[in-house]
């Protein structure tokens, strides 16, 4: 199976072009195997790029544990870059079908003619608790107490197509991300599990963020997580409608101008291509 390794500020996935390739295994099994950083290709999961009847291409994303997610912010920028650079559709504006509908992306090419940065209309955040989904009260659920082990934390929940639970903290420590993250992910308040964001507000326009992702553990960056965090920052009165989000792997610019659609801008990078042989 031929594949391409790409990342968006360090959030790395194995990409397979279904316009040209057939999968040798069911996608969830393949995701688990290729994501393994010792015995596979290595990555936070698997992303399939295929034909779409509604857009220029369709993205399907699977976490490292094989679970499928509705959406991936860093992934959709990379899918658009792939579609643009590999001539599937070389247009300044692309439409990519995802689990949360067809998204519009603006491509910014560098002097090589290849796409370097991508601005994505991420759609309107979902703020009704039943639709996020969470058992926590409030539409939207803002600053809600959540009992995790022997701690009660205050969380704000947002869906960007996929579910997020944002905790604002004074200091970003491993105790929050690696200690609480895995417990929040599988907490009974989240029937479809959840991505857990831990955010330190640096100013009204700057946030430091780490994310424990559903199905993949801590990643270098999470695009939908950055969007959900800005929305949570606005809803809880902590931030303005535009902020630079610093993640371990780099920065994303997030805007929620009129509290309708969220926009995300950031880089997309192709690292290498290769051929993977299933073990027999
Ligand atoms: N890293 C992604 C999100 C990937 C999916 C997530 N783990 C989930 O299960 O919802 C991003 O950049 O948005």
Q: Which residues line ligand 1 (CB under 6 A)?
A: 11, 63, 69, 72-75, 162, 195, 213-216, 219, 222-224
Domain assignment present for residue 10? The answer is: yes
Dist CA 241 CA 258 (whole Å): 8
E strand or H helix at 223: helix 223-235
**If you take atom 1 of ligand 1, which residue's CA is the nearest one?**
222
| Domain co-membership, 239 together with 148 | yes
161 alpha carbon, distance to own chain's centre: 10
ipTM of the complex: 0.99
Percent of the residues in the chain that have a pLDDT greater than 70, as a whole number:
100
Per-residue pLDDT band at 45 (split at 50, 70, 90): very high
Q: What is the distance in A from the centroid of ligand 1 to the CA of 8? A: 12
* Residue 46, φ and ψ in degrees, nearest 5: -125, 135
Angle of helix 223-235 relative to helix 73-85, nearest 10 degrees? 130
Model pTM?
Answer: 0.98
Give the CATH number for residue 189.
3.10.310.10
Query: pLDDT tens for residues 104-152?
Result: 999 999 999 999 999 999 999 999 999 999 999 999 999 999 999 999 9
Mutation pick for ligand 1 pocket among 35, 72, 192 (CB with most ligand atoms within 8 Å): 72
Please answer whether residues 268 and 84 qualify as being in contact, where contact means their C-beta atoms are separated by less than 8 angstroms. Answer: no
Nearest atom (ligand 1) to Cα of 227: 13
Residues 207-229 have a mean pLDDT of 98
Ligand 1 center to 155 CA (angstroms): 19
DSSP E strands, the chain: 2-8, 11-17, 45-50, 57-63, 68-69, 93-98, 101-109, 115-121, 144-148, 151-159, 163-168, 195-203, 206-213, 217-219, 242-247, 250-255, 263-267, 269-275
Q: Residues 139, 161: one domain?
A: yes
Q: Band the pLDDT of 279: cuts 50, 70, 90.
A: confident
Q: Summarize the annotated binding site for substrate as residue ranges.
A: 11, 63, 73-74, 162, 195, 213-214, 223-224
Burial 138-156 (b: 16+ CB within 10 A, else e): eebbbebebebeeeebebb
215 and 92 within one domain: no
Q: What is the pLDDT of residue 66?
A: 98
Contacts of 279 (CB under 8 A, 6+ apart): none
The answer on 133 and 119 residing in a single domain is: no
Residue 216 vs residues 111, 114, 171, 181, 265: alpha-carbon distances, Å: 35, 29, 23, 11, 23
Distance CA 210, CA 205 (A): 17
222 catalytic per annotation: yes
Q: Which domain holds residue 171?
A: 129-260
CA–CA separation, 198 vs 212, rounded Å? 8
**What's the structural domain count of the chain?**
2
Distance CA 7, CA 23 (A): 21
Residues 166 and 195 in one domain: yes
Same domain, 163 and 117: no
**What mean pLDDT comes out for the span 252-261?**
98
pLDDT score of 280 more than 80: no
């Amino acid at each position: 199976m031929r594949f391409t390794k790409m990342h968006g500020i360090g959030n790395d996935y194995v990409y397979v072009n279904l316009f040209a390739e057939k999968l040798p295994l069911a996608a969830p099994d393949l995701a688990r195997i290729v994501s393994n950083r010792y015995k596979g290709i290595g990555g936070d999961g698997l992303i399939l790029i295929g034909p779409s009847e509604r857009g220029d291409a369709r993205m399907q994303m699977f976490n490292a544990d094989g679970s499928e997610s509705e959406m991936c912010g860093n992934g959709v920028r990379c899918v658009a870059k792939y579609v643009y650079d590999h001539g599937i559709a070389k247009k300044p504006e692309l439409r990519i079908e995802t689990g949360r509908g067809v998204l519009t992306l603006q491509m910014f090419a560098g002097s090589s003619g290849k796409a370097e940065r991508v601005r994505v209309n991420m759609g309107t955040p979902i703020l009704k608790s039943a639709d996020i989904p969470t058992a926590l009260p409030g539409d939207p659920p803002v600053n809600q107490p959540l009992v995790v082990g022997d701690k009660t934390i205050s969380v704000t929940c947002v869906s960007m197509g996929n579910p997020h639970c944002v905790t604002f903290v004074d200091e970003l420590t491993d105790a929050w991300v690696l200690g609480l993250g895995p417990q929040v992910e599988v907490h009974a308040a989240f029937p479809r599990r959840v991505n857990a964001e831990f955010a330190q507000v640096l100013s009204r326009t700057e946030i430091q963020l780490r994310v424990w992702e559903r199905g993949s553990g801590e990643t270098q960056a999470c695009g939908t997580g950055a969007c959900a965090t800005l929305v949570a920052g606005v809803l809880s009165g902590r931030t303005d409608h535009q902020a630079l989000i610093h993640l371990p792997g780099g920065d994303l610019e997030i805007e929620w101008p009129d509290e309708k659609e969220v926009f995300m801008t950031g880089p997309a990078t192709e690292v290498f291509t290769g051929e993977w042989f299933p073990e027999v």
